Amino acid sequence: MFKNKPLFITFEGIEGSGKSFHSKLLYKKLKKLNLPVVYIREPGGNSNAEAIRKVLLSGKKNKFDKTTDALLILAARNENILHNIKPNLKKNKIIICDRFVDSTLAYQVNGFGVNKTMINSVHKEILGSIKVNFTFVLNINLQISKKRILLKKDINRYDKFTPSFYNKVQKSFLLNAKKNKKRYMIIDTSKNIKEVEKIIFEKILLLLKK
């Protein structure tokens, strides 16, 4: 028997890790069970945040200064929190979110070198009491990641960085996850898709029964 309670689940990982695929797959599976679930992506989530996303992801990889880039992401996140995350948590819904705070720390802070104090300060302001219940960190071999990116139909500016950059970002995700094993699960998505799907779904079922 599943408990009627809010649950905030995030998926993190570099480009080509499979996080968007598996987060959407989980959403569809929970929907089939008639559970109150919503799917959100970041940056994005509502019309304002999606407009910011379009600006953020189009054009050359060095289109923005690193701080401008970070502030745009945080602006989109604030819109998402106000119009999607807070209202749905109040309604005891399950939120599946493709990227959240961990991505900003991995990409903007550890990848680009944006001031962490500034990022944390803005997060403190916009998050309030919101906390992620559980995060899946999808780990991928960088060569496989590169091959998957090349197969994408809609390449964006975040698909255009160097292997060393993605390596730095992925290491940040993994280091953060290893520090808090109760809230994070690292999954090797070089494995069979069905195997990854099974691992994720079994963990979610446990969380829903707690």
Query: What is the full per-residue pLDDT of the chain (210 aa) written as tens digits?
Result: 677 889 999 999 999 999 999 999 999 999 999 999 999 999 998 999 999 999 999 988 888 999 999 999 999 999 999 999 999 999 999 999 999 999 999 999 999 999 999 999 999 999 999 999 999 999 999 999 999 998 888 888 999 999 999 999 999 999 999 999 999 999 999 889 999 999 999 999 999 988
Instruction: Write down the domain spans for the chain.
Output: 7-209
Q: Exposed, middle or buried: residue 77 (CB in 10 Å: 0-12, 13-18, 19+)? A: buried
The dotted CATH code for 7-209 is 3.40.50.300
Contact call for residues 184 and 133 (beta carbons, < 8 A):
no
Q: How far is it, in rounded angstroms, from Cα 77 to Cα 102? A: 12
Q: How far is it, in rounded angstroms, from Cα 32 to Cα 106? A: 33
Residue 71 vs residues 21, 68, 80: alpha-carbon distances, Å: 27, 5, 14
The pTM (predicted TM-score) of the whole model is: 0.95
